[in-house]
Amino acid sequence: MRTLTKTLVTVTTAVGIAAGSLATAGTAMAAPTEAPQRVVSAEAAAPLAVNNLGLTRTEARKIQRVAAARWGYKGEIDGLLGTESWKALQRWLTHWGYPDDEIDGIVGPNTVRALQRYLAKYYDYDGGIDGIAGSGTRAAFKRMANDCPDC
């Protein structure tokens, strides 16, 4: 009897150790490794952003049609004013004497100031030429988009 008890205790201990080792090994092997994360700087992401300055997609499509017809926009007429749309709009503003420093497709303060000057002359914008696309700038830009006769 003592031999049987000793054998059972030994077998139970061996099975317990083996089970514990397997459980630990299974957990260690099943643990996922973390994938490296790609960090994108704000400067790198900014040119990819869409900025409709308050226009609906329908209104933005009107602007894109004019930009395609007159200012070299070759992208989709999708109602999303992205980098290429804004490059065309910057060419247009520069043509009309509202310089923007450079044609880069970024809607920064210089582009907004140039747009504000144009909107003040033709679309009843009466706010400051401050480079901030506030509600007055956005409202005048909407008027411009909706005033397009051939869009």
Residue 33 lies in a domain: no
Q: pLDDT digits over 89-125, tens only?
A: 999 999 999 987 789 999 999 999 999 999 999 999 9
Residue 129 lies in a domain: yes
Please report how the helices 135-146 and 57-70 are oriented relative to each other, as an axis angle in degrees rounded to 10.
Answer: 60
Residue 78 lies in a domain: yes
Q: pLDDT digits over 38-89, tens only?
A: 554 444 444 458 999 999 999 999 999 999 999 999 999 999 999 999 999 9
**Which residues span the domain enclosing 123?**
49-146
Total count of domains within the chain? 1
Please state, in angstroms and rounded to a whole number, the distance separating the CA atoms of residues 40 and 16: 50
Other beta carbons within 10 angstroms of residue 6's beta carbon come to 10
State the amino acid at position 118 in one-letter form. Y
How confident is the model at residue 151, as a pLDDT?
A: 63
Residue 121 lies in a domain: yes
User: If you count them, how many residues does the chain have?
Assistant: 151
How confident is the model at residue 9, as a pLDDT?
A: 41
| Residue 143 vs residues 102, 117, 119: alpha-carbon distances, Å | 26, 15, 9
